[in-house]
A and B are shown apart, each in its own frame.
Chain A
Amino acid sequence: MARTISYREAVNEALRQEMERDPSVIVMGEDNAGGAGSPGEDDAWGGVLGVTKGLYEQFPGRVLDTPISESAFVGAAVGAATRGLRPVAELMFIDFMGVCFDQIFNQAAKFRYMFGGKAVTPVVVRTMYGAGLNAAAQHSQCLYPVFTHIPGLKVVLPSSPYEAKGLLIQAIRDNDPVIFCEHKALYDMTGEVPEDSYTIPFGEANVVRDGDDVTIVALGRMVSVAEEAAAELARQGVQAEIIDPRTTSPLDSDTILESVENTGRLVVVDEATPRCSMATDISALVAQEAFGALRAPIEMVTAPHTPVPFAQTLEQLYIPDAQKVANAVKKTMDWKK
């Protein structure tokens, strides 16, 4: 039975249900319980934005607070995953990958290949990404393309509460290392989510909206931005098809290519900076595999090639919005040889 809950609650529920189902699932991270070593509450925070709140109470030995020591605890999660646990480590902000990246990309990602297919490392790194909270350059980035670049990692970008729950349960049950990227500006987004446990398979895009005129591929938070643009475009007689890849690794190229074969136009909407990004990756895919179907040059709507700014005026300019998406669509519609 579905009911309306928030993206934050959906993540929490996925963790709770998997911890109930499988005793090998543990959760760790900075203040994931909160209050360790202090005289007050043992479950003071539930992570910096309260996503894991309440889990400690139900699973006291399995929700571990950590020192601010990302290399050590992300590495510990990786090591524990090789010995029968299914750890979910919270890397508070994706920007902090800089202090623990080795354990993710040189260790976890490579074990299976380097060790000749004999390693299984079922670790999940949950991490918050994205701009919109005026958290500035070191707390707001969209670094999922960096993870997507690394063979051996799976990378997940839930765009709604429904996706968040189903994809996280899949991530925990998955036998490969998964980077699970939660957009911090989506935590209060609400939507219908089944109470029962369910999984959403990786590598299967969601066609959020059907349309024959243009294909919009949007990632994470940009899915709702694309929907807003599509509603406006529909009033003007342009029907956009919106595709949410849901996972950037693996990437469902078939669904994207089939859509472009039908529409002949592609706009990629990605909050990440533009170089070596999902926007360029998907554009290259379509240029290579569906060149003959294109009726206009591909458009990319992305952040500029800058760090994320602090001032509200600048941050609003930085993040792609519905108007920019609509403009890009119109450009593809109006294009003439």
Chain B
Amino acid sequence: MTPTQPAQAAQATSGLDEKALLEAYRTMRTIREFEERLHLEFATGEIPGFVHLYAGEEASATAVCAHLDERDSIASTHRGHGHCIAKGVDVKEMMAEIYGRVTGSCRGKGGSMHIADLSKGMLGANGIVGGGPPLICGTALAAKQQGTGGVGVAFFGDGASNQGTTLEALNLASVWNLPAIFVAENNGYAEATAATWSVACDNIADRAAGFGMPGVIVDGFDFFAVYEAAGEAIERAREGGGPTLIEVKFTRYYGHFEGDQQTYRADEVARARASLDCLKQFRERVTASGRLDAAALDGIDGEVAGLIEAAVTEAKQAPTPTADDLTTDVYVTY
């Protein structure tokens, strides 16, 4: 293969430098490894409750959060592990939380659907579909009032795109001209119900027009497409230009939750994994353009595998909460 010219190579990889590319790959790989491992571990019966896996959707959280810093906050969904990792929540603490351990992000009181780290601006995975968008109006309002230049990003699914909370939040964000970005992650299904059936318009992004904001559709398997769309929206928001609705389209690799037999959909996953997969595309793009060599990416793969292995081992060995923890942390004072 002929090496690409430097200018073209930079363009093909959205102008990201080597360090940023490696970091993006590491984040996506960490999410994938985390989720693939949970898929296996859940089947052993050792993980309590429910887990909703983000595998297949890594490019969205990673590319959006690549633009964010400590001024910024995000709200997430049931399918929140990827958003947590991309916003910098500690992976070992996340794993311990999913195992219900006292060393977890939430001391074992939240679980998979409620992992949060407010010190990182991560307002939590959310057990309520459509719970996050109103909260993000608030974090964006705080950033605006305090003049930090920060933004709020609400990740939500195609299911939440039909919730009144989401639509109200879109309207309020426009009315108040908030530095907010709404990322509709359309993976095709809300639980077992197809978005083609439950969303009354062709695209979720079409709804943006009704709220006086730009609506953008991007290929969610393409890290660089998401990166560029998010970058433009976030920059506009930081400069006082108001909110944007970005619809990211892709497929989730696993069921709604682990254990879901997925009889409602044909085998679109195998096709996506083989040809569209975000990690595969990213790897091809950065190596073909000569920005990174495969060995560097392989090295990250190895490091990430080690991290996840350690996270699982440590989580399994960590202590569980005790009776003393049952009634604490309800109030600051009472």
Measured CB to CB, the residues of A under 8 A from B are: 26, 61-62, 64, 66-67, 69, 71-85, 87, 102-103, 106-107, 111-120, 151-152, 154, 174-176, 203, 250
Contact = CB atoms under 8 A, between A and B. Distances in A.
Given A74-B134, A85-B141, A117-B329, A67 B114 contact: no
Interface residues of B, number: 49
Contacts of B168: 67, 69, 71-72
Interface of B: 73, 75, 104-110, 114, 116-119, 123-124, 126-128, 131, 133-143, 145-146, 152, 164-165, 168-169, 171-172, 175-176, 328-334
A222 to B, nearest CB: 25
Find the residue from A66, A113, A175 having the highest chain B CB count within 10 A.
Answer: A113
A10 B8 CA distance: 67
Given A78-B134, A106-B131, A116 B108 contact: yes
B114 A107 contact: no
B109 A72 contact: no
A152 B106 CA distance: 16
Contacts of B134: 71-76, 78-79, 103
A90 to B, nearest CB: 15
Which 8 residue pairs are nearest across A and B when measured between Cβ atoms?
A75-B134, A79-B138, A117-B329, A116-B107, A79-B135, A116-B106, A72-B168, A80-B138
30 contacts: A26-B145, A61-B145, A67-B171, A69-B171, A74-B134, A75-B137, A76-B134, A77-B138, A79-B137, A79-B139, A79-B142, A81-B138, A83-B143, A84-B142, A85-B138, A85-B141, A106-B127, A107-B128, A107-B131, A113-B329, A114-B106, A114-B110, A114-B114, A115-B105, A115-B116, A115-B118, A117-B329, A118-B116, A152-B331, A154-B334
B141 A80 contact: yes
Contacts of A62: 145
A80 B142 contact: yes
Contacts of B139: 79-80, 82-83
Nearest to B170: A72
Contacts of B331: 112, 152, 154, 176
A82 B328 CA distance: 20
A119 B145 contact: no
Nearest to B109: A116
A72 B169 contact: yes
B110 A115 contact: yes
B123 A82 contact: yes
A313 B143 CA distance: 51
Contacts of B105: 115-116
A115 B111 CA distance: 9
A287 to B, nearest CB: 23
Nearest to B152: A79
A79 B123 contact: yes
Find the residue from A75, A152, A154 having the highest chain B CB count within 10 A.
Answer: A75
B165 A103 contact: yes
A306 B169 CA distance: 34
